Amino acid sequence: MTIALTLLSAAFVLIGALFALVASIGLLRLPDLYSRMHAASKAGTVGSGLLLIALAIHAGEAGVMARALAGVIFFLLTAPISAHLLAKAAYAVGYRLGPTAVRDEMASTVEEQTSGSI
Amino acid sequence: MSEANLILDYAVDLSLWILSLSFLVTLIRVIRGPTLPDRVLALDMLVAVAIGFIAVIGIKTGYVLYVDIAIALGLVGFLTTVAFARFILTRGKTEDDLLEEHNQAERLKNRPPRHAPARGDKQGEGAATAERPSASPPTSSDASAPTSSDATKERP
């Protein structure tokens, strides 16, 4: 049983580190801010969350597991909020999609937003 | 049991190398990122990678007090991103706007010595007034328009 838990922890560590690497490569390679945000906020959250779950499995104590899982839930709650806030602020200020973007569905709403609420 | 621990040791070492690599790749985006939101996003990603790093170090050393540091770092990273988003919103300008304003300020600074003699001998020739709408009024209207739009944008 402990062998299985140790192997599971090792697998989670490797998979989490690979997710973080994929997120950072996406942050470097994608063309504009919003697609970079797509890479960083999803894959990055999964990467650090898997590493924290690996720590929770490896530690085996109830207190450490509870804290690590609380950290995972905290990141799962806050990463979309911060990414959404950043994207909304950047779009409202006037940062537009990159040249390879096919379609900008908020282009019709941004005029009313900037003149109205913001 | 010992083989499993050996595998875990190798996995932890390898993942530390991978996390270091992803830290460096994210740092390239922080340095190179053309706009401010790109840098803010890359700093957010750096916080996430640092949290993963702390978790792996906690596995490697068995010093599980690091989990609290990871949670505190996540809170600080979230608040930092929110504060930067507020700053981007209240600044109200992109880098292109700032560059354009700077260029217009340079143009306005360089203009008076060039136009002072032209204004001195402007009595009565139609050619200069015919030239002028192509040269100076766009710059003056551009200089007045962004300030008024910025004022209306920053008020609310």
- pLDDT band of residue A110 (cuts 50, 70, 90) is low
Helix A2-29 with B36-61: angle, nearest 10 deg: 160
Is B15 contained in some domain?
Answer: yes
Cβ of B78 and A82 within 8 Å?
yes
For chain B, give the mean pLDDT.
78
Q: What is the pLDDT of residues A65-74, one digit of tens each?
A: 999 999 999 9
Cα A77 to Cα A34, A36, A80, B79: the distances in Å are: 20, 19, 7, 13
Is B104 contained in some domain?
Answer: no
Number of domains present in the structure of chain B = 1
CATH of residue B43's domain is: 1.10.287
Cβ of B85 and A75 within 8 Å?
no
Q: What is the pLDDT of residues B89-99, one digit of tens each?
A: 998 888 888 88
Nearest-CA residue of chain A relative to B69?
A71
Q: Where are the domains of chain A?
A: 2-95
Asked whether B82 and A85 are in contact (CB, 8 A), the reply is yes
Please state, as a whole number, how many other Cβ atoms lie within 10 Å of the Cβ of residue B59: 27
Is B105 contained in some domain?
Answer: no
The segment with the largest mean pLDDT, out of A59-63, A74-78, A98-102, is A74-78
Count CA atoms within 13 Å of residue B95 on its CB side: 8
Please state, as a whole number, how many other Cβ atoms lie within 10 Å of the Cβ of residue B39: 16
ipTM, 2 decimals?
0.86
Give me the residue from B15, B38, B89 closest to A13, CB to CB: B15
- pLDDT band of residue B4 (cuts 50, 70, 90) is confident
CA distance B103 to B108: 9
Range of the structural domain that residue B42 is part of: 2-91
- State chain A's maximal CA–CA distance in angstroms: 62
